Amino acid sequence: MKYYSTNQKVSGVSLEEAVVKGLASDKGLFMPDVIKKMPTEFFDNIDKLSFQEIAYAVADAFFGEDVDAESLKQIVYDTLSFDVPLVKVEDNIYSLELFHGPTLAFKDVGARFMSRLLGYFIKKENKGGLVNVLVATSGDTGSAVANGFLGVDGIRVFVLYPKGKVSKIQECQFTTLGKNITAIEVDGTFDDCQRLVKSAFMDEELNKKMKLTSANSINVARFLPQAFYYFYGYAQLKRLGKADNCVICVPSGNFGNITAGLFGKRMGLPVKRFIAANNSNDIFLQYLNTGVYTPRPSVATLANAMDVGDPSNFARVLALYGSHEAICADISGCRYSDPQIAEAIQNCYKANKYILDPHGACGWQALKDGLKPGETGIFLETAHPAKFLEKVENILGIKVEIPQKLQEFMKGTKQSVPMTKEFEDFKAYLMQ
């Protein structure tokens, strides 16, 4: 399969190059030339297949031309060593719990898949030498990437994070791992971390000395595997006999997650329509309403993983559909303010005894507001509520149980490399 760039100046790129580069040289995002339809029999039998079987069939459609069957199967099965259960919250509303991976966030799926695919290419090339992954994080991405790449041969990961500005739980998730993971504690802001990473990619001397790559969410190897659980969510709904008129609602920030679902629909997944749930950063909703895309600086909200003012995957949505009209036919939008998010968490707990995290809360509320008679809704619960412990406990006035997996991280010893926000210092560190 070849990949082209959403900016149209680059095409015919191999999967390997797209994965290693991340972003196309014209600064666009990579898209596959062809999105294959899954055969009818696949959907007829989907309710009888396991998550791994479904995911492998979808992975084969994306990557089967570029990765041999045995390796691809192993990558998929290795990635999905946890379940993504569909949980009934109330009549006609189901939560697809994406938070049962190692860091309790949906980003685990993409990060684990990408690390293994990159590992596969490195091994195949057998050029020796390490590949260095640089990632800047304000919390969730760093933990998913660090845990996803932990122990993968030939890859070293540097997680740059702003000192004192990530939650304790998040910090533990990438500073206690050791092995091939190094946490760099930057005396600055998240923007400083991102600037250091970008400067490193542009520095000629550094790139001559070492192979650098990024693991952010625009990478095709992180983004496409997210389609797996849409198919599996549908399969579970079909087992319940509820799969007609299925609506999927996705709490969205950079729009990578929902775009993977839209790819699923293009592959034939019988989803009637999608809802993109936003917090106050409602750039996409405004686009739906006006037909004009106007990015603006993000504002901080309770659902902070969705605080995005210029969603990077918007370019992919546009490339997939081609027009405002076509986008509006498949996707609607909505926005929720912080008080509305808090109210949703309270109302859902009161009515159903189901604890939402602030991101999932936007998804649940959007279905409450937007589901039509005869439709069944699935919202993606993108993180475990314990990842936002203080917020959720304050809103509900109850104690939220911390899963064993999170507690384990908190037992480890923090190890980090202190760093100034000056690029020269960061470069000197990488060069030695």
- Catalytic positions are 107
Report CA torsion sign: 185, 188, 191, 197: negative
CA 278, 280, 282 angle in degrees (round to 5)? 55
Compute CA distances 327 → 32, 68, 231, 417, whole Å. Answer: 19, 35, 21, 45
Shortest Å distance, C-beta 89 to ligand PLP: 17
- Interface with ligand PLP, residue 257, by CB under 6 A: yes
User: Whole-angstrom Cα distance, residue 421 to residue 403?
Assistant: 35
Read off the tokens for 331: 């996707």
- Interface with ligand PLP, residue 140, by CB under 6 A: yes
Binding mask 370-389 for ligand PLP (x = CB under 6 A): ------------xx------
DSSP character for 36?
Answer: P
- Interface with ligand PLP, residue 253, by CB under 6 A: yes
Between 43 and 314, CB nearer to ligand PLP: 314
- Interface with ligand PLP, residue 175, by CB under 6 A: no
Shortest Å distance, C-beta 67 to ligand PLP: 24
Shortest Å distance, C-beta 127 to ligand PLP: 32
User: Whole-angstrom Cα distance, residue 63 to residue 45?
Assistant: 22
The correct pick among 52, 254, 278, 281 for binding ligand PLP (CB under 6 A) is: 254
User: Whole-angstrom Cα distance, residue 156 to residue 154?
Assistant: 7
Shortest Å distance, C-beta 430 to ligand PLP: 27
Between 22 and 119, CB nearer to ligand PLP: 22
Between 163 and 316, CB nearer to ligand PLP: 316
Instruction: Please answer whether residues 360 and 344 qualify as being in contact, where contact means their C-beta atoms are separated by less than 8 angstroms.
Output: no
Shortest Å distance, C-beta 107 to ligand PLP: 6
Between 49 and 402, CB nearer to ligand PLP: 402
Compute CA distances 413 → 39, 172, 177, 182, 336, whole Å. Answer: 50, 8, 9, 13, 38
The backbone torsions φ and ψ at residue 391, rounded to the nearest 5 degrees and listed phi first, read: -60, -50
Of the candidates 235, 212, 215, 213, the one whose C-alpha atom is nearest the C-alpha of residue 223 is 215
Between 105 and 262, CB nearer to ligand PLP: 105
User: Whole-angstrom Cα distance, residue 340 to residue 332?
Assistant: 19
Instruction: Please answer whether residues 191 and 199 qualify as being in contact, where contact means their C-beta atoms are separated by less than 8 angstroms.
Output: no
Instruction: Please answer whether residues 377 and 94 qualify as being in contact, where contact means their C-beta atoms are separated by less than 8 angstroms.
Output: yes
Of the candidates 393, 388, 392, 360, the one whose C-alpha atom is nearest the C-alpha of residue 93 is 360
The residue range among 45-53, 64-72, 76-84, 245-253 that interacts with ligand PLP, by the rule CB under 6 A, is 245-253
Residue type, 12: G
Give all strands (DSSP E) within 245-330, no chain letters.
Answer: 246-251, 273-278
The correct pick among 255, 274, 336, 349 for binding ligand PLP (CB under 6 A) is: 255
Binding mask 92-131 for ligand PLP (x = CB under 6 A): -------------x-x------------------------
Between 173 and 257, CB nearer to ligand PLP: 257
Q: Is 127 helix (H, G, I), strand (E, B) or coil?
A: coil
- Interface with ligand PLP, residue 142, by CB under 6 A: no
Q: Which residues, 6+ apart, have CB-to-CB distance to 161 below 8 Å?
A: 136, 137, 138, 139, 142, 171, 174, 183, 184, 185, 186, 190, 193
The residue range among 252-260, 315-323, 365-373, 402-410 that interacts with ligand PLP, by the rule CB under 6 A, is 252-260
Q: Is 212 helix (H, G, I), strand (E, B) or coil?
A: strand
The residue range among 164-172, 247-255, 330-338, 344-352 that interacts with ligand PLP, by the rule CB under 6 A, is 247-255
The residue range among 126-134, 180-188, 254-262, 344-352 that interacts with ligand PLP, by the rule CB under 6 A, is 254-262
Read off the tokens for 378: 């699935």
Between 16 and 381, CB nearer to ligand PLP: 381
- Interface with ligand PLP, residue 331, by CB under 6 A: no
The correct pick among 306, 348, 361, 378 for binding ligand PLP (CB under 6 A) is: 306
Interaction site with ligand PLP (CB under 6 A): 105, 107, 140, 217, 251-257, 305-306, 359, 382-383
